[in-house]
């Protein structure tokens, strides 16, 4: 993996104590499948063209500037100096102004993640003290940060010897679940059914393993692509569940508890490839 460059540089501040820090992205694109739009009549890739909406002439993206529409089809143009003049404190300073309980932020608010490290040796000692203080408090540090020309609320917490920063969604960006959840009402729960369900949950308890989160759909899609390159076809691996086959809940729970307990997660053994239509035809011949 190439050496990472910081996407933001500034200062981490708690009251009158501060130190220079840098932000690094916590994520990178995996070696995932990428697709292009193709004209099926010619087999050629389609090129996306940037056109002037008025003259219909093609323009280069490098020649474009940003504009704010203050009236229908009328824009005020902005350049880098305009954005520079709009800077606020959080453009350059992560001011830790509140510390909240670790479980007080609903997961739905979390957006992207970044690693926070001291920027140079000068502030390394101060950074270590602030990181340790946040860790011992058992709380999450709240701040604000300007990223991509937008001020975001952020949450910081210790991660190993450093800090991890999570950008948070604005409440206006979160769909209100009430309209959906209210339809569920308050069902009367059968204590025996709940007890059996809890037993099933406890039996399936396991440690979180990041390596278990492999994209199985992409792996299967790669098999389909490889088969098409060989001129073969692969039958669907799984059938759509029958939604009309509703099993008695008590029977289903008892049957699940009676089945052998799931083994601890292991690396899956290689599965035999499903028979292709071409192979099946050869066997019949």
Mean pLDDT of 235-264: 68
pLDDT score for 281: 46
Q: pLDDT band at residue 267, thresholds of 50, 70 and 90?
A: very low
Of 115-129, 208-222, 242-256, where does mean pLDDT reach its minimum?
242-256
List the structure tokens of 44: 């050629």
Q: pLDDT band at residue 88, thresholds of 50, 70 and 90?
A: confident
For the chain, what is the mean pLDDT? 84
List the structure tokens of 239: 């059938």
pLDDT score for 44: 93
Distance CA(121)–CA(256), nearest Å, equals 57
pLDDT score for 186: 84
Task: Look up residue 276 and give its DSSP letter.
Answer: B
Distance CA(204)–CA(264), nearest Å, equals 9
Calculate Rg over the CA atoms of the chain.
Answer: 27
Burial of 118 (C-beta count, 10 Å sphere; 0-12/13-18/19+): buried
The domain ranges of the chain are: 8-30+89-173, 40-85, 214-238+271-285
Place of tokens 């090129």: 47
pLDDT score for 130: 95
Residue 211 pLDDT > 90: no
Place of tokens 């800090």: 163
Of 121-125, 146-150, 220-224, 272-276, where does mean pLDDT reach its minimum?
272-276
- Does residue 22 or residue 178 have the better pLDDT? 22
pLDDT score for 272: 46
pLDDT score for 285: 43
Q: pLDDT band at residue 269, thresholds of 50, 70 and 90?
A: very low
Contact 115, 8 (CB under 8 A): no
Closest-CA residue to 90 (of 16, 164, 10, 171):
10
Mean pLDDT of 33-40: 88
Residue 233 pLDDT > 50: yes
Cross-strand bridge partners of residue 163: 116, 158
- The Cα angle at residue 114 between residues 112 and 119, in degrees rounded to 5: 155
- Does residue 2 or residue 71 have the better pLDDT? 71
Residue 139 pLDDT > 60: yes
Q: Phi/psi zone of residue 250: left (φ > 0), alpha (ψ -120 to 50 degrees), beta? A: alpha
List the structure tokens of 277: 């239509």
Cross-strand bridge partners of residue 113: 166
Residue 270 pLDDT > 50: no
Place of tokens 């670790």: 102
Mean pLDDT of 119-143: 93
* CATH 2.40.50.140 for the 8-30+89-173 domain, yes or no: no
Determine what percent of the chain is predicted with pLDDT higher than 90. 40
pLDDT tens digits, 96-116:
999 999 899 999 999 999 999
Contact 155, 169 (CB under 8 A): no
pLDDT score for 203: 85
List the structure tokens of 139: 């709380």
Please enumerate, as own/partner, the contacts of 264-267 that have beta carbons within 8 Å and a separation of 24 or more: 264/206, 265/206, 265/209, 265/212
Distance CA(115)–CA(8), nearest Å, equals 11
Mean pLDDT of 217-241: 79
Cross-strand bridge partners of residue 18: 13
pLDDT tens digits, 54-78:
898 999 988 999 999 989 989 999 9
pLDDT score for 238: 65
Cross-strand bridge partners of residue 154: 143, 167
Distance CA(176)–CA(63), nearest Å, equals 41
Distance CA(109)–CA(154), nearest Å, equals 10
**Residue 95: which residues within 8 A CB-CB, separation 6 or more?**
13, 89, 143, 144
pTM of the model: 0.71
């Amino acid at each position: 993996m190439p050496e990472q460059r910081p996407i933001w540089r500034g200062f981490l501040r708690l009251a009158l104590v501060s130190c220079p820090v840098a932000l690094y992205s916590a994520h990178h694109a995996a070696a995932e499948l990428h697709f292009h739009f193709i004209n099926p009549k010619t087999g050629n890739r389609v090129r996306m063209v940037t056109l002037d909406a008025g003259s219909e002439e093609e323009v280069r993206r490098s020649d474009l500037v940003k504009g704010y529409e203050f009236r229908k089809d009328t824009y005020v143009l902005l350049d880098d100096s305009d954005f520079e003049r709009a800077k606020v404190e959080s453009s350059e300073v992560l001011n830790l102004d509140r510390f909240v309980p670790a479980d007080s932020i609903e997961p739905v608010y979390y957006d992207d993640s970044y690693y926070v490290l001291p920027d140079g040796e000068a502030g390394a000692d101060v950074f270590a003290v602030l990181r340790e203080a946040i860790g011992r408090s058992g709380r999450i540090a709240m701040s604000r940060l300007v990223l991509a020309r937008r001020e975001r609320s952020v949450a910081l917490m210790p991660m190993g010897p450093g800090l991890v920063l999570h950008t948070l969604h604005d409440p206006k960006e979160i769909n209100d679940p009430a309209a959906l959840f209210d339809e569920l009402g308050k069902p009367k729960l059968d204590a025996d059914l709940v007890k059996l369900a809890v037993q099933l949950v406890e039996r399936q308890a396991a440690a979180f393993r990041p390596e278990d989160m492999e994209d199985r759909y992409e792996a299967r899609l790669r098999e389909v692509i490889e088969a098409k390159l060989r001129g073969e076809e692969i039958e669907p691996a799984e059938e759509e569940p029958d939604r009309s086959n509703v099993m008695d809940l008590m029977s289903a729970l008892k049957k699940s508890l009676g089945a052998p307990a799931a083994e601890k997660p292991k690396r899956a053994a290689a599965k035999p490839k499903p028979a292709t239509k071409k192979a099946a035809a050869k066997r019949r011949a």
